[in-house]
Amino acid sequence: MKEISKKIIDLVEQSREQIAKIANSTMVHTYFYIGALLIEELQMGKQRADYGTKLLQLVSSDLTAKFGKGFSVQNLERMRNFYLIYSNSSNELRNSEVFEKSSISLRISSEVNSAVKLLPISWSHYLFLMNIDNENERQFYEIESYLNRWKLKELQRQFNSGLFERLALSRDRDKVIELSRKGFVVEKSADIIKDPLVLEFLGLEDKPVYSETDLETAIINQIENFMLELGKGFFFGGRQVRITFDEEHFRVDLVFYNRLLKCFVLIDLKIGKLTHQDLGQMQMYVNYFDRYEKLENENPTIGIIICKNRNQSLVEITLPENNQQIFATKYSTVIPPKEAFIKLLTQYNE
């Protein structure tokens, strides 16, 4: 009896979740349509500020009397802005495969004569996204919120930590546009590198001094958040994983597997200055896994040294020119100012 009860409970919970998704999507589209109707009535192609204020107050009073809360003048303004922003979004961007497969495209009516493609994320998500002026960046976060099922808090964190800029810094212009059409796609080893990794969730900013063991322990205690920061497709394989040859023992700080790249990802943690010896040690770890752990149908192992300080010239001269296996990336235990990432990206594109 308990087994059948569990099946029924699972079924009911799945049904409720599905109903909630449909209701949420319908509500978001309804707000878009309300915004469209307000624009058509308010503007007739032109801005009319005085009339607009009176109209919104009148409509707000009528809707509040009928439906209760949720239709204040401020909320009606948000719906109007919602329509203005997303009806004017680039058709080229919003015709991407993600939208074709996952969005609900509805046409309002001949009276409004407008169609929109919106991903099924919450109204709260869209309220946050509307504050992002860069259309490429806004659509990137819209897609990532949908694909990764980000809660609003996670969307806010990823935006504040400059995820779009951190990924864009390692891509040319065409690849930045691709971020806006497809989101964060992992196709080759370099795609998983973020510079820097933002690890504010570890809580280490409260410690003036900490060791590599402290850093590793903090990561293990926050392993889910750490993998989320690393990116897509990661599975945790272990900490301090021992490898042995010629009766000598070595330990890899953290071992992961990435199912999208189909390869092992080894991570070494350094709180001090990165040296060429650190790069050589990681090369040894990578070689060992390629020769003794990797299966024939798997791709070459990737090694990432996460360090507090990095001399990029040292990394480039130590590693082969065509290197696709070993990377060094910095980490930050606080969220850097987003303006700093924007400045770097602007300089990179000049």
Average pLDDT over residues 209-217: 91
| Residue pLDDT, tens place only, 269-287 | 999 889 999 999 999 999 9
Give the class (CATH, top level) of 189-338.
alpha beta
For residues 213 and 41, which has the higher predicted lDDT (pLDDT)?
A: 213
pLDDT of residue 220: 96
> What's the DSSP call for residue 258?
E
Least confident range from 42-51, 206-215, 332-341: namely 42-51
pLDDT of residue 348: 56
pLDDT of residue 246: 84
214, amino acid identity: D
E strands of the chain, at which residues?
104-107, 115-118, 197-198, 234-245, 248-258, 263-273, 302-309, 326-332
Average pLDDT over residues 67-89: 90
Burial 235-247 (b: 16+ CB within 10 A, else e): eeeebebebeeee
Report the share of the chain in percent with pLDDT over 90.
Answer: 50
Instruction: State how far the alpha carbon of 124 is from the alpha carbons of 31, 94, 116, 224, 306, in Å.
Output: 12, 20, 18, 24, 34
pLDDT of residue 110: 42
pLDDT score of 17 more than 70:
yes
| Residue 262: pLDDT band with limits 50, 70, 90 | very high
pLDDT of residue 109: 46
Alpha-carbon distance 13 to 19, whole Å? 10
Within 8 A by CB and 6+ apart from 195, the residues are 166, 169, 170, 329, 330
User: Residues 123, 24, 117, CA angle at the centre, nearest 5°?
Assistant: 70
pLDDT of residue 25: 83
60-64, 69-73, 253-257, 332-336: which has the highest mean pLDDT? 253-257
Report the share of the chain in percent with pLDDT over 70.
Answer: 89
C-alpha dihedral, 71 to 76 to 77 to 82, nearest 10°: 120
Provide the pairing of β-strand 234-245 with 248-258. antiparallel
Cβ count within 10 A of residue 344: 17
pLDDT of residue 8: 77
- For the chain, the domains span 2-163, 189-338
What is the pTM assigned to this prediction? Answer: 0.81
Q: What is the chain's mean pLDDT, rounded?
A: 86
Average pLDDT over residues 126-140: 94
| Residue pLDDT, tens place only, 109-121 | 444 555 678 888 9
Within 8 A by CB and 6+ apart from 249, the residues are 242, 243
| Residue 45: pLDDT band with limits 50, 70, 90 | very low
| Residue 46: pLDDT band with limits 50, 70, 90 | low
Average pLDDT over residues 127-142: 94
Instruction: State how far the alpha carbon of 261 is from the alpha carbons of 127, 186, 216, 265, in Å.
Output: 34, 7, 24, 10
- The DSSP bridge partners found for residue 332 are 198
pLDDT of residue 10: 84
pLDDT score of 350 more than 70:
no
Average pLDDT over residues 226-242: 95
pLDDT of residue 99: 81
pLDDT score of 303 more than 90:
yes
Provide the pairing of β-strand 115-118 with 197-198. unpaired
| Residue 290: pLDDT band with limits 50, 70, 90 | very high
Average pLDDT over residues 293-300: 96
